[in-house]
Each structure stands twice: as structure tokens, then as C-alpha cells.
A and B are shown apart, each in its own frame.
Chain A
Amino acid sequence: MAAGLPGTGIGGIFYLLLVAWMPLRELVLTLQGRSSPQRWRSIGMKWLLITSMVLMIYVQGYAIDLVSGWLIQIAPLESSLQSAGLLIDEAWSPALAMTPFVILAIVLTTVHGLRLVLVFYPRRPDTTIALRPASTASVASLPTAAAN
């Protein structure tokens, strides 16, 4: 199962940034003797992947810019196509491009803030679910249904 919707929103940007940061982290691990050539190879492959993705974003941005300009110039005046071109041209701004980064920063800051707050609130015993012996007895409490 996959949480979220792959390929959408801030998740993609988050993983791109995570890969961008990998070499620095790995350098520290290498100095500590906790890395391996395999891990560096894996980072290289991921860098190739994200470089391709960033390149694709750039190409797509260029293509959209080209198409919107073409629509504005070629499409009949005040037609739906021309208004589409104008809309894209106006929407395609640095501010819009920065929005996902700002949202990502807010989400990450919030979750880290929550983590810091929780330091002052010890975990309640009832939220700890580990070390419970597995037994068929617990199955008795289940609703009966077709199982896979």
C-alpha cells in the first residue's frame, strides 16, 4: 500500500531534496566508517534519477512557456484558446513555483515542532504496543469475515 498520492504535491519535492542532501550525509557517515562503496553507488544512481527529473521539469516549463506564447500570438483575439494562453502566462510566476517549497517547509517545521513539544510529554503506557505476546487468543476478538 502507498500512503498519499504518488507523484503529486510536496512529496515529490521532499524526496528530490532528500536525495540532494544524501552526499553530505554520506560524507559524514564515511568519515565515521559507517558507509560503503555500495551506498555511494546507490546515491549516484539516485542523483542520476533526480537530475533527469529536474531536467524534465525545466523542459516542461520551457514547453509550457512556448505554448502559452504561441496561443497568445496565434489564437483568434478574445477566443478561449487565447485566454488560456494568457492565464498560463500570468500563472507561470516565480511565486507560484515557490509555493510548494513554502508549504513543504511549513509541514516539516510543524512535525519537528511537534516532536520537540512531545519531549515534555512522556509516552503513556497504553500507547506502547510492543512486547505483547502473539497468541491465537487475540484473534477471538476479531469480527468474523472473509480473510485473505
Chain B
Amino acid sequence: MSQGGCPSNTTAEPAQGSGVTVLIPAYNEAASIADTLRSLAVQTVPPAQIIVVDDCSTDQTGDIARSLGATVYRPPQNTGFKAGAQIFGLQYVNTPYLLAIDADTTLAPNAIEKILTGLDGSDKTAASCGMVLPRYVSTIWERGRYVEYLFAFTFGKAIQNHFYRPMIASGCFTLYRTDVLRQIGAWQPRTVAEDLDLTWTFFQNGYDIAFVEDAVCYPIEPHNYHFLRKQLRRWSHGFFQCMRIHWRTVIEQPYLRSMVAVGMWDALIAAIVYLFVIPMLTVLVHPVFLVAYVIDAPVVAVPVIFGAIRRRELGKALLSLPGFFVLRMVNAIFMLEAAWSELIFRRPLAVFEKGH
């Protein structure tokens, strides 16, 4: 069934098969949405329904999605936030599970099958998130992000998962229990990091989240600084916006409080060290202090190599390693700027700009 025009009140098709509805918010995604839908068509466990919320695109996003078999809904006006489009689409979901993915994200052929295993256990587990790897690894920014993801998902997130507290269920690929999602209020368009906000809202309401390393998705990551800047601004501001809203929840959650505390420390103090202390020491004391920028390279490389060997991508990972250290410097700048704007000047980022 295809549905166009605005607004639409048509109900979705009855639930069937896997019990999974895929919900894809999209704004001007004509260049990428076909790949996303094709990757859904070849899933080992096919979804019962695919809903694309065409957020009043000015390109052919809706037509392309419709031609590839998706059910397309269009809100009366552009919602302004990804969360807005997702909330709009949620009313048409009538399956027990909802898989939220981005319109620029393709899935591995067994991704749905694998991510469903995350919700096999306790009813307390409200969501299941998967592994994220950049689809294209070519520019220095994509290479940096590739290493960053290999490191973060192989090391940090895997450990967080052991305590049922992944710090974030990535918005580009997460499976939810639909009833729980509705019960807690779903995505809230009050921050620019709706996925982090939702993750911590689940924890606040006593739910767990699972991370399934074998469920892999491939988003398009920023290939140049122009898009990277938008993405990093959104992520860093979103983090501090969520901290302002959820600080009490975070402090009350076992393990999460410690993970966020050390994350905050590293984000702020390491950024200051990278941007101010090391350059000063280099200029005033000795150039040997420049080594500090890459002193942890061997340790970072270990989980990256572990993750890469598992995926038979060792050469690509080793070649991409230098990009990680460049990206880390850029991360440092954006984290400090976000902390300054959000926490000190109370000037929140209010515009959601896509980063690819």
C-alpha cells in the first residue's frame, strides 16, 4: 500500500511475519533511500511492513520509496526534527516491534534476524541496537569514523552491554518493543539527539537495552568537513542537552553514571589538553610533547584490530588508523564548543541539520 498527500490518516496494513515494522524518517533522501529499501528487501527475516515518513521532501524521496514497495506517509508540514517525523510515523505502526533506521542506512542481509535476538530474553529489555559501520571508507573523515566505530563498538559498547547499559542505542538502527516505546512517550523533539534522549528515558523507566554486535548496519558518514561539522555539532550539543534533561536519571543508574562521568571528563579535560596544554608545552618546553597526541595509538589499535579481524578488514583498519587521530582533534573542538554554548551560555542548538 502506498499513501501520499498530506495529511494522511490511513491505518497501516495488518501485522504479519516477523512482527517488525521498519520506520524510516526521510527528508530529501532521493539519493540514498533506494539502497536502504533494497537492503530491506533481501533480509533473511523480512519486515512485515516498511513505512517511510516523507517529511515534505522537495525531491523524489516519496516517489522512489513508493516505487520500491514502501508505505509512504507525509505530514502536513515539515516537522523540523527527525523525532517529529518518527512520532508522526509511529501512529501507523501496529506490529509488536518497530525497527527505526535512517534513510541513508543499509542493513546487512541478516541484520533484522540478528537484532531480533536482542529482545529474546526478558520483557525488561525494551530495545535492541546493532553495530554501526560506515558504508563508504574513503576520505580521512570516513576513515576516522570507521576506526572510531570499530573501537567504540568492540570495546566500550560491548562492555556497557554486559551491564545492560549501552550509553546510546543509535538512532540509525535500533529495534523497539512498540508498546513500551509508546508507553514512555517515544522520541521527543526537545533535543537534537533524540536517540540519546530516548535511550536514557528507557533507563529512567526501568528498562534495559541490548546491544547485538552481529547485527550490522551501514550508514553514509560525512565524507567532507562541511557535513562532518553539522553532524558533530548535533552530536555534541545533543549530548549536553540530554545531560541537562537527564542528569538525575544518569546519576541514579548503576554503571551508567560512572560511564557518563568518565565520558564527560574525557570529553572536556582531554579536549582542553589537546587544544591548549599540549601546544603550550610543545612551544614552551619541548617539541617531544607532540608525541602525546598519538601516545595511546598502540592501545587504541588493539580493539580496532580485534574488530577488524572479525570482519576480515584488517588492512582497511590499519590504513584508516591515522584518520582516527585527526577526527579526535576535531571532536575535541566541537565538544568544547558545545559545553561552552549549552552549559555556560545556555545557548542551545535548536536547528536539526542532517550530517551527510
Contacts and interface: CB of A to CB of B under 8 A. Distances in A.
Interface of A: 1-12, 14-15, 18-19, 22, 39, 42-43, 46, 49, 52-53, 56-57, 59-60, 80, 83-84, 87-88, 103-104, 107-108, 110-112, 114-115, 118, 123, 127-136, 138-139, 141-148
Contacts of B266: 4-5, 8-11
B298 A111 contact: no
A46 B193 contact: no
A30 B120 CA distance: 20
Interface residues of B, number: 95
A72 to B, nearest CB: 13
A26 B26 CA distance: 43
A101 to B, nearest CB: 12
Contacts, number: 228
Most interface-central of B195, B251, B252, B301 (chain A CB within 10 A): B251
A133 B185 contact: yes
B350 to A, nearest CB: 5
Contacts of A133: 185
A15 B353 contact: no
Given A118-B251, A130-B204, A6 B156 contact: yes
Contacts of A8: 266, 270, 296, 328
Given A56-B299, A139-B80, A139-B88, A6 B55 contact: no
Contact of B80 (A3, A53, A118, A142): A142
Task: Name B's interface SS.
Answer: helix
B251 A115 contact: yes
Interface stretch (B37-45, B62-70, B257-265): B257-265
A147 B84 contact: yes
Interface in B178-213: 182-189, 193, 195-196, 201, 204-205
A58 to B, nearest CB: 10
Contact of B87 (A1, A7, A52, A138): A138
